[in-house]
Structure 1
Amino acid sequence: MTERRPYPSDLSDARWELIEPVLTDWRAERRSRALNIGRPPKHDLRTILDAILYVDRTGVQWRYLPHDFPPWETVYGYSAKWEKDGVFAQLSGLLRSLLREHEGRNAEPSACLIDAQSVKTSTSVPATSQGTDAGKKIVGRKRSIVTDTLGLLLAGARAPGRTPAVTPFDAVVCRGRQGGVARAGAGVCRPSAGRTEGSRRAGGGMRPWRPPGTLARRRCWPGAGG
């Protein structure tokens, strides 16, 4: 079979080297659970991921995936399994940690920023999936994000209208060097300088902090759609 020409969305060798162990371990673990029964995998994991990145980058429907990739049903199946098994979240956390260390930060953030935004939807969107934000006079959905202070995404959610999109944020906490914890919904938080080591006040050790522009920059990244 002729080797396909690369697309701009394809992974570079250096990027693939970073994430290849995660995907290889995932495939090996699934094969072990199946007792290695059945046909061996036919498609290369890197090609599968390149196909997923192509769809993500171009926005084409799965059925319109170019023929030089594996069948769209196969690619979609891998994408759904990786989403269900938390592989994408694992890769996101890995790359975020590497980037933070490259910037001279700790791998895990000690502060997070939480914000929400009301987004208009089209008239073809089902009414059950949207609502009305009376304060901003917007009919659509509310989307929320949690980032670190570099603007790197920690979590995201969307909900109809004025409904707070907090479900994924229940597990997102900001942990200070002294062990302080502030739950999502606190707005912006960072460790309090007055917190003494060994203190165990529930939910304490955090104070409001507003670094300029971080969330504003992060807001430019999502698409315009709800």
Structure 2
Amino acid sequence: MTGYIIDLLNEKYEQFNAPGFIPNDPISIPHKFTVKQDIEIMGFLAATLAWGQRITIINKCNELIDLMDGAPYDFIRNHQDTDLKRFLSFKHRTFNTTDTLYFIEFFKDFYKKHTSLEEAFAGGITPLSVDTKAALENFRKVFFSLEDFPARTRKHIATPAKNSSCKRINMFLRWMVRKDNKGVDFGIWNKISPAQLVCPCDLHVERVARKLGLISRPKADWQTAIELTGNLKLIDPNDPVKYDFALFGLGVEGYM
């Protein structure tokens, strides 16, 4: 890796990891809240719905917030079955009413037993884990642990076990885990280390990373995400995923 590439990534990380990044990105959705559980719930929903145009993603997430009376955690805990009728028309691409209602059911059941969604991931990871593979696999088992889960909803929760790049969940974990003073990522979880995070490999990131020689695999899968993260660790082994900002930003700018 050349000094030019390292300097470019560091420059663009500083440029895009700033409050000005927030308003036009799905991370703006959890930033509407201060309660940890609200941040987790809407962060996870925003990450799950994060495909397509960013303005559409943000609008659909705001629709969900409105459907939950502006207080997701309170709604999750205290809604009545009759309150769920309002979600019957909610849809974003292939994410439909069935999926929405199961997400709500899962959250309601989970938060009866736990105070943080972090627990659903932390069961699969230790301080010795080199990455979040086991955490993601554990989360999927927990998420679909309710007896009546709809089979169709499984496609919305990616897993390394199927060699998915897991780009949306990796993005969500970046939001929750990374700690700095820039004001973009939240850093409210402590059982996963920033050094264990895997870089989200969306279209912008993948395209730029290939042109910079950070990816050699032919398609974006879990091993591609691991390859990219491994190369980013050569620059910063303690916080490699901070360069997600740089790669995404370069893609949006049309730099490459």
TM-score over 0.5 for the alignment? no
Larger radius of gyration: 1
More strand by share: 1
Q: Which has the higher contact order (CA 8 A, sep 6+)?
A: 2
More helix by share: 2
